Each structure stands twice: as structure tokens, then as C-alpha cells.
Amino acid sequence: MHRLSEFLVGLLFGLGLLLSGMTDPGKVQGFLDLAGAWDPSLALVMGGAIVVGLGAFWLARQRTVAFLGGAMRLPQSQDIDRRLVAGALTFGVGWGLAGFCPGPGLVAMAAGEPKALAFVAAMAAGMALYEWVDRAPAAVHEGA
């Protein structure tokens, strides 16, 4: 039952990304082009997502058990550190250059978009590189 619920929620999310235009790199880049031909339509999509997210997190904080019976595991850290800022900047630059972020990139790839395939491959390589660097011995991180 859990897998079916996960599949249906993922399918609903993917359909929402397709219908909202989030899988169209041209539309995304138009939204990010504040100094040029700005397309504000994705602001409504993001605003709606923020409202839904706020409601979902409020509801989740009221509960100790998830709807399907699992434990609630919400993020606890509220620290803004170098790694968070670097990750946010990397995400923003990648989103602006490619016109995809991870969820819409996967949906567009599944829909047969060749640029999305290249994006997802680069994203997977970046994730693998991060894991390799993050798991390196502390001496490597400190330059010893």
C-alpha cells in the first residue's frame, strides 16, 4: 500500500509540474530573466506551492505519526552555514543555466526531453562527486 501511495503522489506531483510549465526550460528561464522579457506566470505556481507547503509543514508538526503509519522526521536544523549557502548558489546557477531543477528535470526526462536527459546525467554526476568528496578522509578536507 505504501508503494502505491508513493507512486500516486509522485504521479500527481509530476503531472502538476507538467501542467504548470515547470518542465519547460524556456518558461523557467523567462521567469528568471528579470531584466529582459520577464514571464511572471511561474510566480503563481511557486506561490501556490509555498502555501501548500506551509500548510503541510504546519499539519506535520501537529502529528507524531505520518498518515501511512511511519514516524514523522522533520528537519531540525535552522542553521545557515557555508554548505547551505554554497548549495543554494549552485542550485540557483544550475537552474538558471539549464532551466531545470531536479523534480522537473526528472519529469521532462521521462517525457522524452533530450536536454533533460543531459541535465539529469550532469545532476547525477554532481551528486556522485559530492558524495565522493564528502566521504573523503578529514585530512583531504583540511588540505593536509
Question: pLDDT digit string (tens) for 8-35?
Answer: 998 998 898 888 888 888 888 888 888 8
Q: Cell for 127?
A: 551528486
Give the residue numbers spanning the domain of 23.
2-141
Is the confidence at residue 51, as pLDDT, over 90? Answer: yes
pTM: 0.71
pLDDT digit string, tens, across residues 102-118 = 989 999 999 899 999 99
71 forms beta bridges with 65
**pLDDT tier for residue 1 given thresholds of 50, 70 and 90:** confident
Higher pLDDT, 120 or 36: 120
Are 104 and 21 in contact, with CB atoms under 8 Å apart? no
Determine whether 16 is exposed, middle or buried from the number of CB atoms within 10 Å of its CB (0-12, 13-18, 19+).
middle
The domain total for the chain is 1
